[in-house]
Amino acid sequence: MTYPRKHLLAIEGLEPPHLADLLDLAESYALLNRSGKTQRDLLKGRTLINLFFEDSTRTRTSFELAGKRLGADVINMSVSTSSVNKGETLLDTASTLNAMHCDLLVVRHGQSGAPSLLSQKVDAAVINAGDGTHEHPTQALLDALTIRRHKGRLEGLVVAICGDIAHSRVARSNMHLLTTMGSRVRVVGPPTLIPAESARLGVEVFHDMKAGLAGADVVMMLRLQRERMSGGMVPSAREFFRFYGLDAEKLAHAKPDSIVMHPGPMNRGVEIDSAIADHLTRSVIGEQVEMGVACRMAVLDMLSRQLPRNR
Ligand code: NCD
């Protein structure tokens, strides 16, 4: 099995065999989790620290669960309880973590590049759990695994990523992963929410939902991230929904067996209609969360193979 790095900071730069190996390993953890069995000796004696400078429900809890299912000692540090609030710098935090002999460090930070900076200062293997608008690699892995389970492959699929692309680290990681694995990726949204680099990333740009969804195998909706917007980038939520919110009428333009995804948290009635989000056959949003635990187990497993024993 191949993984070329000590850390997982981004999807960009990983090649098809690395991604395929991670997805295959994650698939085996998905089956293990469904069977109710555990493998609690793999990370026994290892310390996993979840360091979250931004809010999170799904990502933090699934890393916690993944670590515990593999037998690690898991500690959650959130900003409100840490001395970061007292003015400690990121690098002071790094020396504290080193002194605690942390083996695996999961970091979420509002600043793009913060996990990478930390990875240069800590002994632990660092996993980026979302940095600013840059990347969220484990989310892209869980999305790809969910797609592969439904469609049997990634190659040749038409995937429409819709909404607030500009502020989305989820979109960026997915663009890298899916284009690397041979999917045909489209980004769909208003011009103000489509980043200029989209063309460089080898994706097609659409400003009209119906055209963007036409013939799609996968429709991935994103949250409108108002907290990252500087001002009038979008009209009212109502108007956004009218043009870009996923409802039955717009979804009818995608393939009849297309699946609907959303990384959460959802703004129901803004980017997605509740009836679609909860659709029994088309929505795979619940399965994405389940695959999140399996993918994070795979990443922890893969990175731990390169850790020195007994530090
Ligand atoms: C995403 C994130 O934090 O980047 N959420 C997640 O990890 N499931 C997307 C978002 O915040 O909209």
Taking only the tens place, the pLDDT of each residue in 274-311 is 999 999 999 999 999 999 999 999 999 999 999 987 55
CA distances from residue 274 to 246, 267, 280 in whole angstroms, order as listed: 9, 9, 12
Cα separation of 241 and 226, whole Å? Answer: 14
Q: Is the minimum distance from the CB of 269 to ligand 1 under 6 angstroms?
A: no
282 contacts 256 by C-beta, under 8 angstroms: no
Q: Which atom of ligand 1 is nearest to the CA of 263?
A: 8
pLDDT exceeds 80 at position 252: yes
Q: Is the minimum distance from the CB of 282 to ligand 1 under 6 angstroms?
A: no
Q: In 181-272, which ranges are continuous DSSP H helix? A: 209-213, 237-244, 248-251
Q: Is the minimum distance from the CB of 169 to ligand 1 under 6 angstroms?
A: yes
Query: How high is the pLDDT of residue 5?
Result: 95
Among the listed residues 53, 43, 118, the one whose alpha carbon sits nearest the alpha carbon of residue 81: 53
Please give the distance, rounded to the nearest whole angstrom, from the Cα atom of residue 183 to the centre of ligand 1.
Answer: 22
CA distances from residue 73 to 40, 68, 183, 272 in whole angstroms, order as listed: 11, 7, 38, 38
Q: Which atom of ligand 1 is nearest to the CA of 292?
A: 8
Q: Is the minimum distance from the CB of 137 to ligand 1 under 6 angstroms?
A: no
pLDDT exceeds 70 at position 81: no
User: Exposure string (b/e) for 268-284, b if CB count within 10 Å is 16 or more?
Assistant: bebbbbeebbebeebbb
Question: pTM here?
Answer: 0.96
**Angle at which helices 58-69 and 137-151 pack, to 10 degrees?**
80
* 227-233-236 Cα angle (round to 5): 85
Q: Which atom of ligand 1 is nearest to the CA of 170?
A: 4
